[in-house]
Structure formats: C-alpha cells, structure tokens
C-alpha cells in the first residue's frame, strides 16, 4: 500500500508545482489506513457505532480549523 501513497504524493507534488504553490508545510501519511473500512467502537454510553479511524486525516482537519490562513490542501 505504501507504493500507492508514494504515487499520490508524487501526484500532489506535480499539482503543487503546476499551481505554483510554495512547499508543503506538512505531509500527513496514512499508510495501511483505509478511508472506507469501518470499525466498531463502543461509545461512553455503551452503544456501538461504526466509524472510520483516520487519525492523520483528523489531525489535518483540526489544523485547518485552528489556522484559517491555511487555505490550500491537497488530498
């Protein structure tokens, strides 16, 4: 799966250069993490929910919320 992530990073770098953006501030890598595979999680009230666990993706969104000046993001 890492080869797929590397290819995506190459594509993002090509897009960044074509758009004449500066260098990426941070690259969030999620090797071996599915964007679709759901896991059962027991919530604090005891109920069970199915969620997608993507910690790097969530961290990126938290950064975008904290820093509204950051407007460019390639997925």
Q: What is the pLDDT of residues 16-47, one digit of tens each?
A: 899 998 888 788 887 777 777 888 989 999 99
Per-residue pLDDT at 6: 86
In degrees, rounded to 5, the angle at the alpha carbon of residue 54 between the alpha carbons of residues 17 and 69 is 45
CA 3 to chain centre: 16
Tokens 């590397």 locate to: 6
Taking the C-alpha atoms of residue 33 and residue 30, their distance in angstroms, rounded to an integer, is 5
Scan for tokens 């009230």, then name that residue: 45
pLDDT exceeds cutoff 60 at 66: yes
Q: At 42, which helix (H) or strand (E)?
A: strand 39-42
């Amino acid at each position: 799966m890492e080869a797929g992530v590397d290819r995506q990073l190459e594509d993002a770098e090509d897009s960044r250069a074509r758009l004449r953006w500066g260098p990426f501030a941070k690259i969030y890598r999620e090797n071996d993490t599915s964007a679709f595979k759901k896991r059962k999680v027991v919530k604090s009230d005891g109920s069970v929910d199915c969620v997608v666990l993507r910690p790097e993706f969530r961290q990126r969104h938290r950064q975008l919320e904290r820093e509204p000046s950051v407007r460019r993001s390639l997925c």
